[in-house]
Structure 1
Amino acid sequence: MDTKDLEILHLVQSNMRLTAEAIGQDVGLSPPAVQKRLQKLRASGVIEKEIAVLSPGKLGREMTIIVEVILERENRAHLDAFKRKMRKAPCVQQCYYTTGEGDFFLILTVKDIQEYEAFTQEYFFDESNISRFKTAVVMDRVKVSLDVL
């Protein structure tokens, strides 16, 4: 990867709909050269996914909740089981396996506190390996980004 690749990545991470022509003008490359570089960045896994970022509030997902989860047992089978459940849980946007006191941190979007309560019943209270969890309700989305560069 060189500086041109980094410049391309900087542009596309904020707007994947930019044309190869527009990117080429900004970085000083021809459109075919930009397309070739983008193909290599996708094939190598640098570009993992091209997605639309949706507004949770406009889709009725008014609440964002951050949850710290502490497991009772941390062997591989229990960790993998929890990871699988979180990958399948529709309201979980992000799930991080972490060091420190908490084993996992989750970012959820829910329509209301009742939906979050139902989530806790299904994934925490009905799960024997959850030691405890701490909940923080987001008051303001100050910055939301997946930008790396």
Structure 2
Amino acid sequence: MNLDKFDIEILDILQKDNLTSQRDIGEKIGLSAAAVQRRIKKMREEKVILADISVIDPEEVVSQILLFVEIELDTDKIEFIDEIKSTFNKVPQIQQCYYVTGEVDFILVMVVKSMQEYESLTRKLFFSNSNIRRFKTFVNMHTVKTGLQIPLPK
């Protein structure tokens, strides 16, 4: 989808607050509420907008441990990579999964209730997978900044 200036401005506003009314968006960027609505609908249909979600502060809801895990594979055969991607996709504790370049193959962002839960997951996901050469875990002590907005061209 080719995004124009208005689409970019709409996305910029929605990334900050997706509950902003279409009328308010239209007033800010110089379009009617109906035009904004059509553009948003099209961006959802074209998968430019993937989801409308609420970001929840986990510390306010339940005590959880945030982990960052580096995974190094033993082989880089595509069938093994696809298999592990599929496995990671099914694990709810894995919040984000990145297939990366460099010394490791994957970086996972995980949320667990306890280190005992994490140990159980490591046995199931990492130790029992013969294609995982090693993994390294980093435990978050304090979240300084998180970002959910994609910098958009102006």
TM-score (norm 1): 0.94
CA distance in 1, matches of 2:130, 2:43: 43
Which residue does the alignment assign to 1:108?
A: 110
In 2, the alpha carbon distance for the partners of 1:14 and 1:88 equals 29
Shift of 1:142: 1.3
Residue 65 (structure 1) aligns with = 67
Question: In structure 1, what is the Cα distance between the partners aligned to 2:63 and 2:35?
Answer: 41
Partner residue of 1:125 out of 102, 124, 127: 127
Kindly report which structure 2 residues correspond to 1:1-149, keeping only aligned pairs within 5 A, or say none.
1-149=3-151
What code does the residue aligned with 1:98 have? V
| Number of matched pairs | 149
Aligned AA for 1:68?
E
Question: What CA distance in whole angstroms lies between the structure 2 residues aligned with 1:122 and 1:50?
Answer: 32
Q: Deviations over 1:39-88 (max 9, x none)?
A: 12112221122222122223325211000000111111110110011100
**Deviation above 3 Å: which 4+ runs of structure 1?**
none
Unaligned runs of 5+ in 1: none
Q: Output the TM-score relative to the length of structure 2.
A: 0.91
